[in-house]
Structure formats: structure tokens, C-alpha cells
Amino acid sequence: MPTKIRLQRRGKKANPFYHIVIADGRAPRDGKFIEKIGTYNPVSKPAEIIIDFNKALDWLQKGAQPTDTVRSILTFKGVIYKAHLLKGVKKGAFTEEQAEIKFRTWLSEKEEKVEKAQKDQEQTDRNQKKDKLDAETKVKEARSEKLAEKKAKEAAEKAAKKAAEAGETVEETTKETKPESTEVKKEEPKTEEVKKEEPKAEEVKKEEPKAEEVKKEEPKAEEVKKEEPKAEEVKKEEPKAEEKKEEPKAEEVKKEEPKAEEKKEEPKAEEVKKDNPKAEDKKEEIKEEKKEETKAEDKKED
């Protein structure tokens, strides 16, 4: 099998890096190789290609067969086009100088295209970044607007709640004040009732004289009580005869005290005379009896 110009994988996982080598077609991909003529890094943008132009051209003229990926790399670098021109020189279609001029014109045009493509790629990258930034700014503005609306709504709700609470407090205060005023109005008639009740106090005053009349009648009961001592005096006379002579003196002192009471009671008796003439007769009888008793006691002492 002829030799091949192919790639050998190097690098890490998800970060490939390739060597461009000349190897036997029967050898494995990453096995033995004859010669290394360049490197290829597809990760970088644009892709990085480093190749020995003269060695690649020589191996193509010798009959080495490139793989598809390596063929695209060689066409990009102009190795395939140069080999084509050299075949025309061998056939006598044109000279080497003409072939060199054609290759340089093609190479300059290719470089211009590559530069333009790179510039376009850079411009597109910039535009994409700018678009991303614009989109992000729009999203941020939309979020900020939504947040501002939410805050405004919350502030309005809070203000409404505060206003409602203030209104409720005012209503409660008004409700509390109204019953108080009504109670005051209801209490005012009570004062009128008190004024109406005052005449009753006058009536009570008018009725007081009756109590005085009752007091005037009370002396009758006192007179009845005074009549009771007669029985007691009769009982006392019996032991007096047996007692010593000194004891009657104490009895005389006691008897003198009722006399003072009789003097105090005489004005009352006068009042009673107006009402009861019978009571006056009884008092006279009592006085006569007392005089007789005193005379009897005086005789005993003698």
C-alpha cells in the first residue's frame, strides 16, 4: 500500500490536537510514522495550521495519498495548486516563471479572502456580543420596570391600608363619642326628676309636726309607769319596820329624788291636763298618798 499523509491525534479529552505525518497505510492511526511535516489545532478560531510546504509538495510528487482532512488542509495552504502547476510545466503548457506568477497571485487573493473572512468573523462575534448585551440590558430594564411596578403597587396598598385603618379609628372614636353624648342627654332628665322629687321633701317636712304631736302624747305612757311604783312602795314599807333606824334615811334620800323628777314632770303634766283631766286627778291622789307616807315615816323616826 502506498504511503499516506494523515493526522495523528494528540491532546486531551475534548481538546484535540493533531500531528500531520507521513505514515504507512498499514500502520494504525496513532502508530509508527515516517516523518512529521506539520500540526493542526481545530479548537482555536480560526484553526491554527503549521506545515512544511516544500516537504508536503515533495511527498505529493512522490505519490503519497492524503486523507480527506489533510487534503482540505493542503488545498487551503496552496500545496495542491502548486503541484498542479508543476505538472503543467513538465508537460510544456507554460514555463516555471509563469507558474510562479500564477501561484503568487492566487496566494495573495487567498490571503485577502482569509483576512476578510477573519474580519467578518470578528465583526460577527462583536455583533453577537453586542446583541447579547442589548438583550441582557432589555431584560434588566424589563425586570427593573416590573420591580418598580410591584413596589409602586405595594406602596399604594400600604397607603390604602393605612387610610382604611385611619378611617376605622375615626369611625370608632365617633361611635364612642356618640353614645356618650346620648347618655349625657338621657341623664339630663334625671336632674328634672330630682327637681320634681324635691316637693316630696317639703311634704315630709309638713308631716314632721305629726311626729311632734306623737311626742306630746308620749308623757301618758310615763304617767302609767309612774303609777306602778305604788305597789313597790307598799312592798317596801313592810321591811322598813324591821330594818334599823338608819335605813329609813337612805329611803328618804331615794324618795326625795322622785320629788325632783315630779318637779320636772309638772310642766309635762300641764300639757297633759289639756288633753286628759282624769290624769290630773290621779296625780293629786298620788301626791296626797306620798304626803301621808312621809308623815308616817316622820312619826316612826320620832
Judged against a pLDDT cut of 80, whether residue 55 lies above it is answered with yes
Judged against a pLDDT cut of 70, whether residue 51 lies above it is answered with yes
pTM, full prediction: 0.46
Local confidence band at 302 (pLDDT 50, 70, 90 cut-offs): low
Question: pLDDT tens across 272-291, in order?
Answer: 444 455 667 778 888 888 88
CATH hierarchy code of domain 3-93: 3.30.1320.10
Question: pLDDT tens across 174-197, in order?
Answer: 777 755 555 545 555 555 554 455
Judged against a pLDDT cut of 50, whether residue 155 lies above it is answered with yes
| Residue pointed to by grid coordinates 313592810 | 238
Distance CA 2, CA 66 (A): 10
The pLDDT mean for the chain works out to 75
C-alpha cell read off for 287 = 301626791
Domain ranges of the chain: 3-93, 233-301
